[in-house]
Chains A and B, each alone.
Chain A
Amino acid sequence: QKEVEQNSGPLSVPEGAIASLNCTYSDRGSQSFFWYRQYSGKSPELIMFIYSNGDKEDGRFTAQLNKASQYVSLLIRDSQPSDSATYLCAVGRDGQNFVFGPGTRLSVLP
């Protein structure tokens, strides 16, 4: 059974701070890793994907992957109230069929 674990939160950070979201996965053969943002009642929206160990930056977002530790994280710099949402980690073997984690609820306080 492939598992993806996330702290459910809520994670509360003040506006302007760095939010750090973490995810661990059980399938050592996983090859692709994704972060989706989901606002309440809405569909998941792809933010980042990463394939290789290390960091990948896109604007205020940085994804970090450590395959040896089976760990992937998402950093959000200069957090804004509009970043308040549930962040879903998804992991795939071939980029096609994902296993989603339960999500971490982020609350950015103005």
Chain B
Amino acid sequence: EPEVTQTPSHQVTQMGQEVILRCVPISNHLYFYWYRQILGQKVEFLVSFYNNEISEKSEIFDDQFSVERPDGSNFTLKIRSTKLEDSAMYFCASSRDRGPEQYFGPGTRLTVT
């Protein structure tokens, strides 16, 4: 069964450093998303991406964040200058169309020290 994959599973970085989180969505999916979940809190939408551009973003997704689909398979989330409060699980998801079934990847745990 196809699945969304994410790398790395755990990333530790120092405050102020740039990080890139990588995702490989399911191959025939066209819509891609990033969510984050701070430990013990709810899942929060960051950004959605379709047709090589951002279709919607939340207030959390400020200028420090960017997304890219550098090739036909990867979908990346970049945080330019990490802060302590960026520590969270980051989930990538994809869906075939503007439908209900978003499939989540296993997540990347980002720890900012």
A54 contacts the other chain (Cβ, under 8 Å)? no
B65 within 8 A of partner (CB): no
Q: B41 and A102: CB pair below 8 A?
A: yes
* Contact status A43-B48, CB under 8 Å: no
Q: Which residues of A contact B98 (CB under 8 A)?
A: 94-96
What CA separation (Å) do A33 and B18 show in the bound complex? 35
Query: How many residue-residue contacts, CB under 8 A, span A and B?
Result: 52
Q: Which of B67-108 contact A (CB under 8 A)?
A: 89, 91, 95, 98-107
Is B107's CB under 8 angstroms from A98's CB?
no
> Given B43, B95, B99, B101, which contacts A44 in the complex, CB threshold below 8 Å?
B43
Q: How far is the CB of B60 from chain A (nearest CB, A)?
A: 12
Binary interface profile of B, 25-48, with partner A (CB < 8 Å = 1, else 0)?
A: 000000101010000011111001
Q: Are A43 and B42 in contact (CB under 8 A)?
A: no
A17 at the interface (CB under 8 A from B): no
Interface residue A32 (Cβ < 8 Å from any Cβ of B): yes
Q: Which one of A36, A43, A88, A94 has the highest number of Cβ atoms from chain B below 10 Å of its Cβ?
A: A43
Contact with B along A79-96 (1 / 0, CB 8 A): 000000000101010111
A-B pairs with the 4 shortest C-beta distances? A43-B104, A100-B43, A49-B100, A102-B42
Identify the A interface with B (CB < 8 A).
Answer: 32, 34, 36, 42-46, 49, 51, 88, 90, 92, 94-103
